[in-house]
Structure 1
Amino acid sequence: VAPEITADPDDIIRAITTHDLSYSEKVTRQTSLVVCNKRNNLSGKAMHAARKGVPLMTDDEFLTLITTTQITPGEPTPPPETSPVLRSITGRSTRQPRKKGSRRVSRR
């Protein structure tokens, strides 16, 4: 939940926990969704989510979705190797950098 949302953050968190979903302040690659209202000039949680390939949803979209959808908790699906959302925002992919000392294999 990003700070710029217009809904009461407690309402968002209550909706999450009522449906037995997990809430965390920290955005990681295991995060399934970030609730934020900013889609341009990303900063903070929205920027970190985009870099990690985590989807963004407005507070209105989230509250509508959570009240109209049958939700089954489970393990989050890992993001794809490259995220079209991230590429459109930053021009970069979400691929992990090579480990130090590893060699790149060229395919010819």
Structure 2
Amino acid sequence: MAQLDTTSTPYPLETVNLTAEDPNIDLDAARALAKTKAREMDPNAMMLSYHSEKTGEFWPAYECGGGGRPPWIVFAEARGYNLKIDVNGGDYEFFYLRF
């Protein structure tokens, strides 16, 4: 079995709040905005999950975990997310892993 060596620096959990110029921003535009910010912070940042308060949509689109906790949070926590990008005061939340 191959062994992976870590070359990353551990990052503390961080939340970045962004406000889009367009108050009616859609999911694709919000995702692009979040991705741009995440990649500015770490070029290897990987999106793990998201949630839209506006539409109720979330990804991954299946139930996981338990205890009544939102699946997008359970999924991101299980994979060690350390960056949350909030667009327009909770309209869209994106959970990333920085390496």
TM-score by length of 2: 0.30
Q: Which has the higher contact order (CA 8 A, sep 6+)?
A: 2
Greater percentage in strand:
2
Greater percentage in helix:
1
